[in-house]
Each structure stands twice: as structure tokens, then as C-alpha cells.
Amino acid sequence: MTITRFAPSPTGRLHVGNIRTALHNWMLAEKAGGEFILRIDDTDAARSKEEYVEAIRTDLAWLGIAADREERQSERLDRYEVAFNQLKDAGRIYPAYETQQELELKRKVLLGRGLPPIYDRGALDLTEEEREAKQAAGIEPHWRFKLDHDEAIVWEDGVRGTAKFDPKLLSDPVIRRADGSWLYMLPSTVDDVDMGVTQVLRGEDHVSNTAVQIQMFTAMDAAVPSFAHEALLVGKEGKLSKRLGSLGCDVFREKGIEPEAILALLSRLGTSLPVEPITDRAILLDTFDLSTFGRAPARFDDADLDRINTAIVHAMPYEAVKERLPEDIDQAGWHAVQPNIATVGEVAEWWRLVTGPIEQPEFADDDKAYLAEAARTLRWSDDPWSALTSALKESTGRKGKTLFLPLRQALTGMNHGPDMGELLPLIGEAEAKARLERAAK
């Protein structure tokens, strides 16, 4: 069975990059009839907050991304301890005592010599007596995973193709701090093993992490999942943008963006497939394929999202939105204003043209006379707008803009808007007549 996971840290709200990762992992599992796990990576007790856990759940539910099960790292600390001790006993984990300042000095020296800033494994050269002396002095060690330098790390990446790392060019990663708290690497690997994760899809910024974790899987005699690393999102200007880190579901909801628009955009962003206003998830799933993903950065543009959202709103049936509309708007009202809105939230402003009050412009004397005649001419029928304009065209000789614009301005207070053939019946005969008479004064 295909098993994927989305593993956010509850230290803030999900942003658009997180959402894209969650969506793609859900799609991988859903298309294969597999399992999608939401794993809350909350080992950082100081920064993790329950309010963000709830926000993550809320955002995924709003998007319709349903996890088959949820796991929490904070409930698995004993399991990490067992794995840590097993790897330590096997000689794959060792204590290191350098301070942050000492490590930074080593890094600067290496860079100054034109060498890669790789940890020199100085901690492995300490004698037992030297370690005991540091412990006696109250210096607690942090812990590193010892990489195997004998063989290259190679895997077939689902997006990038063959990936190869020389472990000698990687630092032995710190997996545990001196205070006993965990960093990302080991708990994540242990979780993937225990939860049976078969495919890991994440951003390309994790490529070097994957190289390290492959050795961790091997050290634990565990099956290595398939890995795929997709290009990161960039802004429309082509650069990595801090702004993308602040764009999340709360912002999208506030702007009136439909979740279907977000899914339609993010499911194909960075692929060779066209980004279209597709609301049928079956279509998005059927066409989702890692082979379509490119290596170039995926550009996120608000204009694309707005375009897709507008197209989706214009195609939404009344039944899908009626609970979100002003309570007195019916199907005819929705149909009338729908072509003029970009978000469902804009309906109320357009519906004001029906319910009033409206603010009419000041008309020239000849237009006032014309509108007075319109008030006298108005007769109600199945199509009052066509009947009114046809009669006025014949009686006044007006046509085009001079025929239609004063009527629209008098009836709605605007120069543009919904089709008057649909809007006038909604305004009603008495109110329409009253507006025409008021404009003629």
C-alpha cells in the first residue's frame, strides 16, 4: 500500500508552500488508493502551540484534504529514545562537545581556506578521559549521527532523477541537543519506519536531509521509502519571497478565495500540465503524475489564483452557494449578479442594486425628460427591460448608449453591472418606477 505523510511543525500557520506539499502527498495516496498521514512534528515543546495544531486541522479540512490518521511526535518520545540507544550501541551516534562559537570558528577557517564547511569529527578524537573531564566540568554533549563514508549515497528521485551524494562532503548531523531535545532528522526517520511510509514527497530544500536519512534507514535495517523533491515556490518576480511564507488559508479565506481554486492552482503549479479552473478532483487526481514535475522553480502569482477563482465562481451553481448569500437572494438573483463578481463575498454589494438604497447621479435636463417618459412608459411583462427599451427607442429615437445608460444609472446608480434584463424584474415594478421618477426630478 502507498503511504504518504504531511509533517508540519505547529509553530505557525500553514503557508502556501506547506499547503502544496500537503496536497501533493494527499493526491499521491488518494490516487493509489493508499493512506495519507497527518503527522504533527511537535518535539519542539517551547515553540509548538496547540492553537496551531487546531489551525492546521481547520485549514486542511477547509481545503478538503482529509488525513486517514493523525500522529503526534510528542506522544512517541519513548520510541525515539529506544532508537537512539540502539544506534548509539551500534556506534552510529556519538557525543560532541563543541560550543556554537567553536563550531562557527571552525566553519570560518574552512571557508577561508576555500574548503567546504564540513564538521571535522573532532569529537571522535577525544579520549575517554577528555570526555569525562568535560562531563565533570558540567559540559553536556550534543549528539551526532556518524555517516558511513565508504559508499556514495544514491537514490532514484521521483522528480530529480538519479541523485548522488558523497557522504564525505556532508557533516555528521546533530540529531539531539545538549538539553536532550530532538532535532528533525532521527524522529522523522523513526516515524517513517514505524508508520510504514512508502513515499516521501517534499521540497528540494530537503535533498541533503534525504541523503542523511537514507543512511539512517539503512542503519536501522529498515526499508528506504521512495523519495521525490519538488521545486520550491517562488514569487512572480522569480525570487524566493518571504511574502509566500505569510500566505495561508486565513489570508485566502479573507480574500474570498475558494478552496477549489487553491487546489486547482497548486495541484499543477510546477508541472507541465496547464493550470485550469478544474473543480472535479477526480480529474486533478487522474492527471497527477510526478513525471510532469519540472526542476525549475514553480512561480506563484496572485493573478493566476484570482483568475482561476473568478472562473470557478462564475461556474458555481446556486445550490452550492445559497447558504453563503444574503438571505433574500434567490436563484434568479444569483444568476443575475454571478457574472459580475470575482468572489462570493462581493454578492452583497451587487445585491444592493436590487434592495437599495442607491445613489443616483445628477442628470442633464434632456435626460431627466427622457427618464420621466421612461417612468410613464414602463409596463410590466415577462421581459420588462426589452419592452421598455423597445418602446423608448421608438418614441424618442434614442439608441445605443444614449438609450440604455441613463436608464441603468437611474435604476442602479451605476454605469455598469449585471444584465438589466435580469436585474429589472428583481427590482420590481413599483421600485423601478419610483427610481425613474426620482431621477427625473
The CATH number of the domain holding residue 140 is 3.90.800.10
Mean pLDDT for all residues in the chain: 96
Residue 266 is assigned to a structural domain of this protein = no
pLDDT at 240: 62
pLDDT at 90: 97
pTM: 0.91
Domain of residue 371, residue span: 355-440
Per-residue pLDDT at 245: 80
Asked whether the beta carbons of 261 and 251 are under 8 A apart, the reply is: no
Q: Tell me: is residue 242 an annotated ligand-binding position.
A: yes
Q: Would 205 be classed as within a structural domain?
A: no
| 169 inside domain | yes
What is the tally of structural domains in the chain? 2
The per-residue pLDDT for range 67-80, each reduced to its tens digit, is 999 999 999 999 99
Domain with residue 419: its CATH number is 1.10.10.350
pLDDT recorded at residue 236: 79
In this structure, is residue 409 part of a structural domain?
Answer: yes
112 falls within a domain: yes
What stretches in the chain show pLDDT beneath 70?
Answer: 238-241
With respect to residue 28, please indicate whether it lies within any of the assigned structural domains: no
Residue 374 inside a domain? The answer is yes
